[in-house]
Structure 1
């Protein structure tokens, strides 16, 4: 059973990924073949995910069947006994309006797209966190006190202070349309007074990370390629700081985008 800090970290990293959590839940029903697991939870990077779970001591991979290890069984039983979160109360929150939208410089990653700054009033403050489940690709970051929402290439960050930033937007008109949709969805939840129940988030794909990396395959991070680095970054096995080329000022916007994107991992 994992007990050392590095072993605990491996378990934490393994279970931080939505597909791997689904695999564990599927295996809780009994041993399965890899084909059965792939059919149930998806075949994308299946061998990689199974290897991570095995290295964490959560599963055992036999010649033909895959099963939970004893530790894995105990882990899943413990998760089942965890108390569910109480429904978040939004009765104190007030409806919001978009009071300002400004178009800034073009994005470095795509010069045809822009960065936008907007203002949402009144500030939502602590009400942002319970609003997270409204957005399938939304995540609340305790570190920056903001709700981060991804819509395709567009990344929206709503801060508790009322500031809103958007990247990879075609222009101010598109930004206003997206913000109007966000306002409507948020105000609808506020009108009900209760946030929706938490749900699993759509995970970030390696290619989404890769396209904002320098793509130089320089190897300074210790990986063979930028795509390999993206996969390991997604798995929580490496830090974004290991990518030295990102420190160059010409990649500043890429780095900012990645720093927000990794909040999903």
Structure 2
């Protein structure tokens, strides 16, 4: 069973990726063929994901059959036991209202669209983490205490303190409609008292990451092409900060989208 620092590092790296976590959860119901696993999580880089899980001693592969190792079974069991007392309770959370749309500013990346700043009250604080499963492309950030939601080009960030920001909005009418839908979704969950169980996020593919990279193939990240860099982002071999052109103002929106997408990997 992994125990020394290097082995623990292998396990942490293997389980840092959503696809590999999905593979582990899929195997918890029994042994599977590589074809079955590919049908469940996608065949993109499947061999690579299985190799990392095998190197971490979490799975065993024999003649095309994949199964959890004893350590893998114990690892999942330990994770499940640690999470059993974390009930998504919303019974004490009060319904929210959008109290005002304070600012409508031109977007940096596209001056024909707007960045909206609004207020939501009462502030939701830590309840935002419980609400994350309501949104297929939503993630909660402990670092900034905010729920970040992506829908098409629009990125909405709901902060625990009550502020709401939205990017790439066409006009104030669209902003108010989107905010009203957000309020309704949150209040429906609050009325039930318990948020829905976490659901599998939309899978992110390398081409989707590539779409928001500069596509200049400048090589500043150390890779020959932006697509190669996108593949390394998917596998966890590279981090977004290696793409220095993204810090240029013209790529501000691209960087914001990529930060959201890489959170699902």
Fold similarity call, TM over 0.5 = yes
User: Is contact 1:13–1:237 with CA below 8 Å preserved after alignment?
Assistant: no
Deviations 1:151-197 (A, max 9, x none): 22321110012111112333322222111111011112222333333
Which residue in 1 is equivalent to 2:87? 87
- In the other structure, the counterpart of 2:169 is 169
Unaligned runs of 5+ in 2: none
What does residue 154 of structure 1 align with?
Answer: 154
Looking at structure 1, the residues matched to 173 and 113 of structure 2 have their Cα atoms a distance apart, in angstroms, of: 12
Q: Is the 8 A contact 1:98 1:119 kept in 2?
A: yes
Tell me if 1:18 matches 2:18: yes
| 1: CA distance, partners of 2:231 / 2:238 | 9
> What is the alpha-carbon root mean square deviation over aligned residues?
2.7
Superposed, which structure 2 residues align to 1:37-76 within 5 Å? 37-76=37-76
Give the superposition deviation at 1:141: 0.6
* Contact 2:106-2:112 at 8 Å conserved across structures: no
Q: Tell me what 2:106 maps to.
A: 105
Q: Residue 213 in 1 paired to residue 217 in 2?
A: no
Native 8 Å contact 1:100 1:118 kept in 2: yes
Distance 1:192 1:27 in 2: 32
Indicate how the Cα distance of structure 1 residues 44 and 187 shifts in structure 2: closer, same or farther if over 3 A, else same: same
> Which string of whole-angstrom CA distances, capped at 9 and with x for unpartnered residues, describes residues 215-264 of structure 1?
22222222232222223223333222211222333333433443344333
Flag the 1:217–1:180 CA change in 2: closer, same or farther, 3 A. Answer: same
Secondary structure of 1:264 counterpart: coil
What do the CA deviations read for 1:101-142 (whole angstroms, capped 9, x no partner)?
33322352x565432222212222222121112212221110
**How many residues of Structure 1 are paired with residues of Structure 2 in the alignment?**
264
